[in-house]
């Protein structure tokens, strides 16, 4: 339409920017939108200071201490009041006297009370019985260990005696066994080959043994007696 960005009007004294169209909430009253826009603007936002950032004066410290003392007193009084309506057996707390009386007359409370009395009555006897049983068991185990130790000692003594006897009779028994083994070998060879072994060992072994007498054997070809 020929407008070049200057002010409106014949002498260009009008507005230079177009009218802005904003969104308005129909539920808000008159002026409320402008107030919200003002407080939500970035340049007008004010952050609330933290408790750490606030410098505490003497008056504030005294007030804080007084309030803390009051709170402690109130808590102690409340605890003392609640102690009257607290059941140690059931570990339950009640605020009203009516509720506490109803609990005392309940089946749960009476059942636990009877169970506690039964434990107190039979607890000591059962403990004594257990202690006696444990002592008897320990005595039996000790007796078994003593018997095992005695048996081991006897076995060791017998083994020592046997070793001593064997060490005393060892050379004689070895000589006899060697002589008997060599005699058995010579007899086997004589039966198999018709002659006995003439080693040095056989002579030395049979030197103590008495020689067999020579027996005359009749010859087949004549009456002359030959010696083998």
* Model confidence pTM above 0.75: no
Question: Per residue, what are the HEC states of 85-152?
Answer: CEECCCCEECCCHHHHHHHHCCHHHHHHHHHHHHHHHHHHHHHHHHHHHHHHHHHHHHHHHHHHHHHH
Residue 163, H or E segment: helix 107-193
Domain ranges of the chain: 29-105
**What is the arithmetic mean of pLDDT over 156-167?**
85
Q: Give residue-wise pLDDT tens across range 27-69.
A: 878 788 888 888 778 777 777 777 777 787 888 889 989 999 9
Question: With the C-alpha atoms ordered 29, 34, 39, 41, is the resulting torsion angle positive or negative?
Answer: positive
Closest among 213, 177, 183 to 196, alpha carbons compared: 183
Residue 198, pLDDT score: 47
CA-to-CA distance for 26 and 89, rounded, in angstroms? 64
């Amino acid at each position: 339409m020929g407008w070049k960005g200057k002010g409106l009007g014949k002498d260009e004294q009008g507005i230079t920017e177009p009218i802005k169209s904003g969104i308005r909430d129909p539920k808000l009253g008159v002026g409320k939108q402008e107030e919200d826009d003002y407080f939500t603007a970035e340049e007008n936002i004010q952050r609330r200071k933290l408790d750490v950032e606030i410098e505490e004066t003497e008056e504030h410290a005294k007030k804080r201490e007084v309030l803390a003392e009051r709170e402690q007193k109130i808590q102690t009084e409340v605890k003392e009041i609640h102690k009257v309506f607290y059941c140690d057996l059931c570990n339950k707390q009640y605020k009203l006297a009516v509720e506490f009386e109803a609990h005392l007359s309940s089946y749960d409370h009476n059942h636990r009370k009877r169970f506690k009395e039964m434990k107190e009555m039979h607890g000591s006897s059962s403990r004594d019985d257990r202690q006696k049983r444990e002592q008897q068991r320990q005595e039996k185990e000790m007796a078994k260990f003593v018997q095992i130790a005695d048996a081991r000692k006897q076995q060791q003594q017998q083994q020592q005696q046997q070793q001593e006897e064997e060490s005393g009779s060892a050379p004689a028994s070895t000589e006899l066994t060697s002589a008997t083994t060599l005699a058995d070998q010579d007899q086997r060879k004589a039966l198999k080959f018709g002659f006995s072994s003439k080693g040095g060992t056989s002579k030395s072994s049979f030197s103590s043994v008495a020689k067999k007498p020579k027996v005359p054997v009749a010859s087949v070809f004549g009456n002359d007696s030959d010696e083998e």
